[in-house]
Amino acid sequence: MESVPIGQANAEMVIDLDAIDRNVRTLCRVAGDAAVMAVVKADGYNHGATRIAATAVAAGAREIGVATLSEALELRDSGIEAPIMFWLSGPGDDFAAAIARDCEIAVTSERHLDAVCAAARSAGRPATISIKVDTGLNRNGFCPRDYRALLTRIRCVKDAGLIRVRGIFSHLACADDPNCSITETQRSRFLNALETASAHGITPEVTHIANSAAALTRPDLHFQMVRAGIALYGLSPVATAAQLVPAMTLQARVVLVKDIAAGEGVSYGHMWTALHDTTIALLPIGYADGLPRALSGKFSVLIGHKRYPSVGRICMDQVVVDVGQHSGVREGDVAVLFGNGRHGESRAQDWAETLDTIHYEIVTGPRGRVRRRFIGGASTTTAGQAQNA
């Protein structure tokens, strides 16, 4: 995606819905007979959950996954009718609302099961649940030592009409590392968990353990469904030949162009000094907007068809770029900080490597005064201009 004329915001995330559509279709092909659950937690990995969910369903995703009940209810309010599952519940969650809005509840503990059953009794209708099994990630989910006893309880409340057991699932710890043996251990534990459930008279409608990495590289882990998170947004957690297209471009308007003389320092601490007379451009984005301060002096931006280095320390509200003399850069020009890389701009992956982190953290970072705008798909360029990051 090329840089597009910036809207009224000085800095914005441009979300390409055509890229989301293409990524979902790619994931559906990779998944084969397995369904694709589009994971849109954390406001769609900061891409805009409601628009991403609608685009994903239209492109072939059968289900939607989120972390929290509030995220699930927001999607229902936006008109998403596909099955929605949420898996991170707190003690105060309103499970009655989840039942009323037909949101699937991932049950992860005995206390959790009790609260869901109480809500089902009050609602007078069964709760739809999935059983989360801990196969080695050691976050939430039923522990192996408690699993058989809890299956007995689940069978009882199921037979009493309080719950509908729709799924059994787990989550992988090391699927992005093809050489890690824990994935095989988790696969074995998951198969055992399914066999144990069957022995207790519990046959789920759907089973799933594959995240994006396993969806792309491990067909033996697809089961009935794969959960596509980061890959949905065009970022791969593994080295893969799948044709994924990054959907987010971060860009800012040049608000000032000025000449400085050789020997002049730039920004706080003068960590950079001009070696010769040059011209600098000022971008109105800083660490308060999610631009990592640790990236100071370590990235470049694309203005027109040329990359220019950032110089000096990233400030709360702004960053400086050395555009050199006679560059033709003018106030109002668009500077692309990262995008899909097809026009020579940096990618989120490049920033992640520079900062020794992961691209998940990069794309979920922009915030505050950075606005979100959608292009492509059924959107118009004005559809997201008033939506905050």
Annotated binding site for substrate: 139, 316
> Structure tokens of 172?
């992988």
Q: Does residue 337 contact residue 281 with C-beta atoms inside 8 Å?
A: no
Output phi, psi for 144, to 5 deg.
Answer: -55, -35
Identify the bridge partners of residue 339 per DSSP, sorted by sequence position.
Answer: 347
> CB under 8 Å to 275, separation ≥6 — which residues?
262
Q: Give the burial class of 385: count Cβ atoms within 10 A of its Cβ; 0-12 exposed, 13-18 middle, 19 or more buried.
A: middle
Nearest in space to 287 (alpha carbons), one of 310, 313, 317? 317
CA 47 to each of CA 142, 250, 362: distance values in angstroms, whole numbers, following the listed order: 31, 11, 12
Which candidate, 346, 255, 335, places its Cα nearest to that of 298? 346
Active site residue 268: yes
Among the listed residues 332, 281, 284, the one whose alpha carbon sits nearest the alpha carbon of residue 308: 281
Q: CA 96 to CA 94: how far, in whole Å?
A: 5
In the set 41, 158, 287, 308, the catalytic residue is: 41
Measured over all CA atoms, what is the biggest interatomic distance in the chain, rounded to whole angstroms?
Answer: 80
Active-site residue, from 45, 132, 158, 268: 268
Kindly state the tokens that stand for 272: 């950079």
**Which one, of 133, 148, 128, lies nearest residue 201 by Cα?**
148
Per-residue DSSP letters for 19-54?
A: HHHHHHHHHHHHHTTSEEEEE-HHHHHHT-HHHHHH
Determine phi and psi for 132, rounding to 5 degrees: -95, 120
Locate 334 and state its tokens.
Answer: 């668009």
Our CA angle for 234, 187, 222, nearest 5°, is 40
Q: ∠202-122-114 over CA atoms, to 5°?
A: 45
According to DSSP, residue 133 is labeled: B
Closest CA to 134 of 180, 72, 185: 185
Catalytic residues: 41, 268
